[in-house]
Amino acid sequence: MSEPKTPDAAAPRGPVKKHARNGKSSATIYDIAKVAGVNPSTVSRALSKPGRVSAKTQKLIEDAAAELNYHVNPFARALPTGRTSTFGLIVADITNPTFFDIIRGAETTATARDYTLVLAESAESAVTELKAARRMMATVDGLILASPRMDDDEIRALARDKPVVVINREVDGVPSVVPDVNKGISEAVRSLAANGHTKVAFVAGPPQSWMSARRWEGVQAACEWSRVDAVRLESTKPTVDGGRQVARDVRASGATAVLTYNDLLAIGLMQELQAAGMVVPDQISIVGFDDIFGADFTTPPLTTVRSPLGECGSVAATLLLGLLHDSGEPASTVRVETELVLRGSSGRLLPAG
């Protein structure tokens, strides 16, 4: 008697939900339409673009939606519109604290505007980066590339598909946000020169790093201005470990002050130099870049050229959101200011002996 063989009792079509759906699968606009006594298309309008529906109907629908605990299905919404309210952020290295603030800045801005942030990393590899970017392109409305390692052309190709904003690099035709190194660097070099240093080494970052090139240019220019010699040293990788490894070359260079591509290198370099018995800054001054978390934990605390990383992340997100909404913005570069943060790792050279 129970379980009569009505057509309704037929096995449901549709995909089998693996996870227990607790009996009730989630409500759709059809359920709301039924409850509110209107057409599903009206529900869609009321829910997706308020104002196109009479106040009375709007209320009816909203009440029904609340009652049924309705949530849009983002996939169903994305399919016809192509919009996902999601954007991607690809960073060169998730383990590098430089990016933490960028991530946070972007995440905060995204969430505030009801966007979801999807994160991936390139592990400093142009190939991995492009793969990640391609994969993300399918699911996001736009992309932020922090310190990308790809070719300009690859970045422009991505930007042709969907809005792209670049951080820490300038790419012709693609909007970007870059710290303007000049102010910070000239402050740093001037401070070094004032402390009697006449030969400065710059430890470079990855060869593909646009920012590393800019910093080296800035150092050269500032040194020329201050009549200080500048030599360039290469690092194997832009990490604490890379900093340790470059210590040899630094000593061999004869420089009495060194600026490094980033703080990680500076910290590693300082550790290695100190382990070899050198006193910082009495025997050598060290200046990093970025002012990452932990830069002031060292002994002595690290002097560094601060980049406003969190600001970069949130400005990039804001730019992207702008591109997404009031389209047609001209691609442009936003510059954010850098500044010298003078701490204990740089100072006057003490006469030997």
Contact 306, 344 (CB under 8 A): no
Residue 303 burial (CB < 10 Å; 0-12/13-18/19+)? buried
# residues contacting DNA (CB under 7 A): 34
- Ranges within 254-273 binding DNA (CB under 7 A): none
Calpha distance 182→300 (Å, rounded): 25
Among 5, 18, 24, 49, binds DNA (CB under 7 A): 49
163 binding partner (options a second copy, DNA, none; Cβ < 5 to 8 Å by kind): a second copy
Calpha distance 269→264 (Å, rounded): 8
**Strand partners of residue 298:** none
Q: For residue 172, give the 3-state DSSP assignment.
A: coil
Q: Which amino acid is residue 252, in one-letter code?
A: A
Structure tokens at 188: 């740093």
The pairing of beta strand 229-233 with beta strand 164-167? unpaired
- Is 139 among the residues that bind DNA (CB under 7 A)? no
Contact 229, 197 (CB under 8 A): no
CB of 74 to a second copy, least distance (A): 5
Among 67, 81, 194, 236, binds DNA (CB under 7 A): 81
CB of 135 to DNA, least distance (A): 14
| Segment interacting with DNA, rule: CB under 7 A, options 44-52, 195-203, 208-216, 274-282 | 44-52
Calpha distance 107→207 (Å, rounded): 29
299 binding partner (options a second copy, DNA, none; Cβ < 5 to 8 Å by kind): a second copy
Nearer to a second copy, 105 or 206 (CB): 105
- Is 84 among the residues that bind DNA (CB under 7 A)? no
- Is 162 among the residues that bind DNA (CB under 7 A)? no
Among 38, 177, 203, 286, binds DNA (CB under 7 A): 38
Nearer to DNA, 81 or 332 (CB): 81
CB of 37 to a second copy, least distance (A): 26
Calpha distance 110→114 (Å, rounded): 6
Among 1, 9, 13, 172, binds DNA (CB under 7 A): 13
| Segment interacting with DNA, rule: CB under 7 A, options 52-60, 233-241, 268-276, 328-336 | 52-60
End-to-end, the C-alpha distance of the chain in Å comes to 104
Calpha distance 228→221 (Å, rounded): 10
Residues that bind a second copy (CB under 8 A): 14-15, 17-22, 71-76, 78-82, 84, 86, 94-95, 97, 100-101, 103-104, 107, 111, 116-121, 132, 134-136, 138-139, 160-163, 267, 293-294, 297-299, 327
- Is 20 among the residues that bind DNA (CB under 7 A)? no
Q: What are phi and psi of 198, to 5 degrees?
A: -120, -10
Structure tokens at 232: 């360039």
Contact 343, 318 (CB under 8 A): no
Contact 312, 144 (CB under 8 A): no
Calpha distance 314→318 (Å, rounded): 6
CB of 179 to a second copy, least distance (A): 19
Residues that bind DNA (CB under 7 A): 11, 13-16, 25, 28-30, 37-42, 44-45, 47-49, 52-54, 56-57, 70-73, 76-77, 79-81
